[in-house]
Structure 1
Amino acid sequence: AAAGSVRLMSAEPSTKPQNIEFSSGPCKKRPGYDVSNLDLRILGRSHRSKLGKERLALAISETKRILQIPDDYLVGIVPASDTGAYEMAMWNVLGQRDVDVCHWESFGKGWFADAISHLKLRDSVTVNEHTAGYGELPDLSKTSGDNDVCFTFNGTTSGVRVPEGCDFISDDRTGLTLCDATSACFAMNMPWSKLDITTYSWQKVLGGEGAHGVLILSPRAVERLESYTPENRPLPKIFRLVKKGKVDGGIFKGATINTPSMIAVEDYIDALQWADSEGGVAGVGKRGGG
């Protein structure tokens, strides 16, 4: 292992999966899944209709309940899977202060590349890279509570996750934490008090359909969005979270920025109902050995 890194690995599986189909995830559909069981009343209807708004709002409220997200956190459905949700967060909030980017697999490495090459944050702030090879974890204690910290909770392509509780994150931090939790939400306990911006997609863990992401904001993240506007950084419509200096509350009530697939929404609601029947995060986590 590299100096300062920690190796956290499980034994290599000795058996192959019984089901080689793994949705768009990579996670297979829930046991007993049948598309004909979906509530299809919304098909052919607008997502802005009364029913459309109700189903989107239900997806959000059930997400919040099952994941035990604090009441004062915001949960929204956004475009472009976890990638869209995480990029949306980066492009809206980074640049106010120095940044620590922690990565040990391909997706985290991609966020670092975006911070350097596309956001070009090093033109205005210090960007520290904390990295380790596949199967290893960098020394997360080297991150600073005064910096914004970007990290992946559970590496999709390496299977290495941060320690339980995220104790490396200070409770007295002044910076924000940006957590890509797409292979963690619903499978692992999320220490919400440590997480300011959290993202995931429906296809990871739950076996849902692609194209939609979920963005979770703490009150501290909302404060940053309403007090900081990056200079000379135009945002495309699908990234805009703020209107007239205030976070667009409609996004977090089901008024999505653009048109979602309502059959994908119904598929997600079906997955949420299954997760709930399994006992929520604890039950789903046991199935995956988390």
Structure 2
Amino acid sequence: MITFYPGPSKVYDQVGQYLQEAFESGVISANHRSSAFMQMLEDTIRNLKTKLNVPADYEVYFVSSATECWEIIAECLISDASLHIYNGAFGEKWMEYTQKLTGAARSFSFETNEELVLNVAKMPSVNEIICITHNETSNGTALTSECLNTLRAQFDNIIAVDATSSMAGVELPWLSADVWYGSVQKCFGLPAGMGVMIVSPKAVERAIAIGNRSHYNSLLFIRDNFLKFQTPYTPNTLGIYLMNRVMQQVEAIHVVDALTTARELDWYSFLPKNGYHLLVENEAVRSKTVIAVKDTKERISVIKKAASQEGIVLGNGYGKDKETSFRIANFPAITDMEIQTLKDFLVSFASK
């Protein structure tokens, strides 16, 4: 099956080879306090920062998932409250989970086709953390770098960004936020089971000021270990090994971004020309990495079933658009040949 599901999605073709290498190397059996593991972790962080152009003074941690980052942020970086800005299901889930933990999460929601403009009544207070979703996987929208840069220029608050379905697929304006997080099963082209958290010196300062060390995944406890190229608990050693090999393999992020952008523009041109309706009508807020197509509940069901019969997995809709849309992953691991196969199917189906 060729999968265009937007996570877990297709892994790089080379991952099969890397799995065998990992087994043969013996590193996946190594103690996570051993020099072999520590060297691998150091190499992985260095290669990730180099390929994704992460600022030198930002720190990289590997955790279990992007969802775990909700908990780390809530427990270790929120001193007063948080303002959650979102237009889709995953941003809303982040807010709801934070509210359960802190009881002090505020929300500012906007519509799928709207550009972000903060309401004066919803401006963050001095110590509130701003929590925002860069790429909303549920509906195929995204914020531009200009939007995040503007937010950074307006507020001196800690800014945390969910970049789950864009990290490693597009260039990110790292300096415009203090916490970035994502999972590896999307643009990283890796098997599910690991999250990436990238934090600024300013975020570290906030964590130190709050001083929460009450949890196994307290940010300070994680940091203490990662500064020694260790982990606070037995890690996903195989996931870290595969991350290192993929980061060695991929092009620099500006090259990957150019490919993602070219494919995105092609999809947004191809689909309407062949009779498919885009869920996101406003070009200014369309995602580069998740393309959402809308139609009636009945037709969406028929399209997905027909695609499956041709060996193609389309992403289901999500949230309020679950039954009236499907999603196409535009992730780097997907090949041109696979994209052409999907296009041929969509052209054929449209003519029926």
Please report the TM-score for the alignment, with normalisation by the length of structure 2.
0.65
1:27 maps onto 2:9 in alignment: yes
Corresponding residue to 1:155 among 120, 132, 136: 136
Contact 2:82 2:131 in 1 (8 A): yes
Structure 2 Cα separation of the partners of residues 242 and 270 of structure 1: 28
Corresponding residue to 2:77 among 81, 93, 96: 93
Q: Quick check: which one's helix share is greater? A: 2
Partner of 1:212: 194
Letter in 1 for 2:16: D
How far 1:222 moved relative to its partner?
1.0
Contact 1:154 1:183 in 2 (8 A): yes
Structure 2 Cα separation of the partners of residues 168 and 77 of structure 1: 29
How far 1:199 moved relative to its partner?
0.9
1:45 maps onto 2:30 in alignment: yes
| Unmatched segments (≥5 aa) in structure 1 | 1-17, 122-126
1:70 maps onto 2:80 in alignment: no
The 3-state SS of whatever aligns with 1:170 is helix
Corresponding residue to 1:265 among 240, 263, 266: 240
CA RMSD of aligned residues (A): 2.6
> Which sits farther off after the overlay, 193-202 or 26-35?
26-35
Equivalent runs, 1:2-151 vs 2, <5 Å: 19-20=2-3, 25-35=7-17, 36=19, 38-40=21-23, 41=25, 42-78=27-63, 80-96=64-80, 98-121=81-104, 127-140=105-118, 143-144=123-124, 146=126, 147-151=128-132
Relative distance call for 1:184 and 1:140 in structure 2 (3 A) is farther
Partner of 1:13: none
Structure 1 Cα separation of the partners of residues 119 and 258 of structure 2: 29
Structure 2 Cα separation of the partners of residues 256 and 173 of structure 1: 33
Partner of 2:229: 254
The 3-state SS of whatever aligns with 2:136 is coil
How far 1:38 moved relative to its partner?
3.3
Larger Rg belongs to: 2
The 3-state SS of whatever aligns with 2:151 is coil
Corresponding residue to 1:274 among 226, 249, 260: 249
Contact 1:104 1:138 in 2 (8 A): no
Partner of 2:156: 174
Contact 2:79 2:210 in 1 (8 A): no
Structure 1 Cα separation of the partners of residues 70 and 101 of structure 2: 14
How far 1:176 moved relative to its partner?
0.2
The 3-state SS of whatever aligns with 2:94 is helix
Partner of 1:12: none
Letter in 2 for 1:128: R
Q: Identity, % of aligned pairs?
A: 22
Describe the superposition over 1:66-101 as per-residue Cα deviations: whole angstroms up to 9, x where unpaired.
1111111111112x21111232122211133x4321
Contact 2:179 2:197 in 1 (8 A): yes
Contact 2:178 2:202 in 1 (8 A): yes
Structure 1 Cα separation of the partners of residues 228 and 166 of structure 2: 24
| Unmatched segments (≥5 aa) in structure 2 | 265-287, 289-352
Count of aligned residue pairs for this structure pair: 255
Please report the TM-score for the alignment, with normalisation by the length of structure 1.
0.78
1:284 maps onto 2:256 in alignment: yes
Letter in 1 for 2:46: S
1:226 maps onto 2:208 in alignment: yes
